Chains A and B, each alone.
Chain A
Amino acid sequence: MPSIQLQRLVKRYGGLEVLHGIDLDMAENEFTVLVGPSGCGKSTTLRMLAGLESVSDGDIVVDGRSIAHLDPKDRDIAMVFQDYALYPHMNVARNMSFSLRLKKRPRDEIDRKVRATAEMLGLTPYLDRKPGELSGGQRQRVAMGRALCRDAGIFLFDEPLSNLDAKLRGQMRAELAMMRQSVRKNMVYVTHDQIEAMTLADRIVVMNGGHIQQQGTPSELFRRPVNRFVAGFLGSPPMNFLEAELVDDGGLHARGAGFSLRLPEDIVTRARKLGGGRATLGIRPSDLEYAPEAAPDRALDLRVIVSEYIGAQSVLICDCGGTRVTVEIKSETPIALGETLRFAARPEGLHLFDPETERAI
């Protein structure tokens, strides 16, 4: 139940630096999710925490003690691997008890723990089977059970659900969330799936290109992304970005090809400092609303190209002066393809980004 600090963590492979000084504080019992596109350094960070990759520079501190140069076995961590990594020549029970047996714990204690963990994960009927005789979901559970069986202080998950099919993934995600409530431990979870990140995390850390882009609670990151990358990465369908010019026309407007939106007060004060010029306007698909009667400076006029029906919601792919814009609407809204319709933008859903630095304004 320790607190973990990554201090200016750097990883180099030869001359190539892949992590450029990661600073991260994880509080006790926190579920931290590292999320980002592939190659962003999230897995490397996790593997450095596990001790599977050496630390090139910086430090890893757990409860005030540096563990950066300890062997994996001395770090008191348990890890679930992306590809399960089960020992194929051992049955489920022996897989789960592997670490306890190495520590030479008494036999009845090992037995008790394995049974309790198997009970929790619904693996009791399979304890005598080899991994080769299990389905993907069951193997995933065994991998999880192997980590849970030992009383490690820190749990690491390296994209544990990415090998499962969509339905099973949703199911396992819910089970993870449930397990999370009963096991109060520090957990660090790596994924490229932003839905997993949003649903499981106490704290999300968005990474890109070896840097931390932003960290915070899921809702903080969703509502107040600090830059265009975070804004575009979190949320599904992703945020729309429109190139615009800031013009003062009786109140500050963002004007671009085919639209001119009046900016709300809180953005205006910040945008004023920039003084005119260009900006990137970001609007989430869910922040656009079908409103034929809306005022032109509160809305976008969009030509509907494609409508994707997904049940209660439909996703419209529209054209706005040459830029693709997606809109999420209720399916019962009467829409015809090819029509140009008016969608009101929620004032609190407007984001402005500096086109040069891509930072939020």
Chain B
Amino acid sequence: MASAARPRANPAFYALIALLIFMSIGPVLLLLVNSLKLDVDITSGAGGLLFMPTIRNYETALCDILWYEPEHLRFCQIRFGGAFVNSIIIALVSTALTLVMGCMAAYALVRFRFMGRDSLSLSTLAVRMIPPAVLLVPVFGLWNNAFCLDNDYGLGAWWRDTFGGRGDVCLAGTHGGIILIYVAMNLPFVIWILQSFIVQVPRSLEEAARVDGAGPFQTFFIVVLPLIKPGLAAASIFTFRIAWNEYLLASALADRDTMTVPILIVNNASEFDGLGTIFATGMLLAIPPILFTLFASRQIITGMTAGAVKG
């Protein structure tokens, strides 16, 4: 009611909003428009919106995973498509694993009483204080030497017979190896964020569920989890973006087949021929986090527990 009584906002206010919208959407729009142009059109300086849209740049960028051979390419130089798929797999799987483990760990830290609970809760956060660069050398060493399966017998032999390869099977150079370190890196923060959401779920709700006949897991999944959905969404945006953008650790751990997009762009910066392809890869790089954030942020609604208990 109060807003209806408020006088109409100043036109300058709308101008400011329009400016802000332009500032945030403009670059993405520019990226989109240019990615649909031929190099001649981009460099002609006309900068106008009058051009013939083409998907040729996208064909160039994704040439290694297309089911047909684009006419304008003699051979596929950049393996962007494969890296793009790797990035999506690694980001999604590490986000999912982090959330599953994080919500359970956070729940246990908030609700269960056990020895060393407080110090454990504190030390999860202390792990965050270590910069990833410090992890680089030990992780590289461990992933390449300690976490390996001898390829002469056992699982290692089976792996070699099934998937081929020469040396021992190591964690480095696998999707699993990169996912593992991303999960380890993001877990403390996710646990920390989710703890504050779980604390807000009234304890009597869980007691009611237990009396109503729910086991501990049913209580967690049917009653607690839906109520911390906003927390899960916020945490997932955070972890997805980190996994999507991470360069340092991935550059050390990834090999040719498991390379993620940031690594590919740095490694092959000189091989991109033409601005159009760069714009197209930029666009492709921006789309997944945008979609993911749009989807996840819709889950962030306040007042999830309204009406549960008397304030």
Q: Is B115 an interface residue (CB 8 A)?
A: no
With A52-B207, A81-B207, A87-B205 as known contacts, state yes or no: A139 contacts B213, CB within 8 Å.
no
Q: Is B309 an interface residue (CB 8 A)?
A: yes
Q: 1/0 per position for A63-84, CB-CB distance to B under 8 A?
A: 0000000011100011101111
Q: Across the two chains, which residue of chain A brings its CB closest to B223? A: A87
The residue that A85 contacts in the complex, of B204, B218, B226, B304, with Cβ under 8 A, is B204
Q: Is B210 an interface residue (CB 8 A)?
A: yes
Asked whether, in the complex, the Cβ of B308 is within 8 Å of the Cβ of A88, the reply is: yes
For B88, the chain A residues whose CB sits under 8 A away are: none
Docked CA distance A130–B308 (Å)? 9
Docked CA distance A136–B310 (Å)? 8
For A103, the chain B residues whose CB sits under 8 A away are: 213
Docked CA distance A139–B310 (Å)? 9
Q: Is B214 an interface residue (CB 8 A)?
A: yes
Give the Cβ gap from A136 to chain B, nearest Cβ, in Å: 7
The residue that B210 contacts in the complex, of A52, A130, A139, with Cβ under 8 A, is A52
Q: Across the two chains, which residue of chain A brings its CB closest to B218? A: A102
Asked whether, in the complex, the Cβ of A83 is within 8 Å of the Cβ of B202, the reply is: yes
Per the 8 Å Cβ criterion, residues 272-311 of B in contact with A are 303-310
Q: How many contacts A-B (CB < 8 Å)?
A: 88
Per the 8 Å Cβ criterion, residues 94-151 of B in contact with A are none
Q: 1/0 per position for B199-220, CB-CB distance to A under 8 A?
A: 0001011011111111100100
Q: Is B234 an interface residue (CB 8 A)?
A: no
Asked whether, in the complex, the Cβ of B215 is within 8 Å of the Cβ of A73, the reply is: yes
Asked whether, in the complex, the Cβ of B308 is within 8 Å of the Cβ of A84, the reply is: yes
Q: 1/0 per position for B179-205, CB-CB distance to A under 8 A?
A: 000000000000000000000001011
Q: Is B264 an interface residue (CB 8 A)?
A: no
With A98-B212, A132-B306, A163-B310 as known contacts, state yes or no: A89 contacts B207, CB within 8 Å.
no
Q: Is B76 an interface residue (CB 8 A)?
A: no
For A99, the chain B residues whose CB sits under 8 A away are: 212-213
Give the Cβ gap from B214 to chain A, nearest Cβ, in Å: 6
Docked CA distance A278–B208 (Å)? 51
Q: 1/0 per position for A266-288, CB-CB distance to B under 8 A?
A: 00000000000000000000000
A–B Cβ pairs within 8 angstroms, 25 of them: A50-B207, A50-B211, A71-B210, A73-B210, A73-B211, A73-B213, A79-B207, A81-B208, A82-B204, A83-B310, A84-B308, A85-B204, A85-B208, A86-B205, A87-B223, A87-B308, A88-B305, A89-B226, A98-B212, A130-B307, A132-B303, A132-B306, A132-B307, A136-B310, A146-B208
3 shortest A-B CB distances, which residue pairs? A132-B307, A131-B307, A83-B309
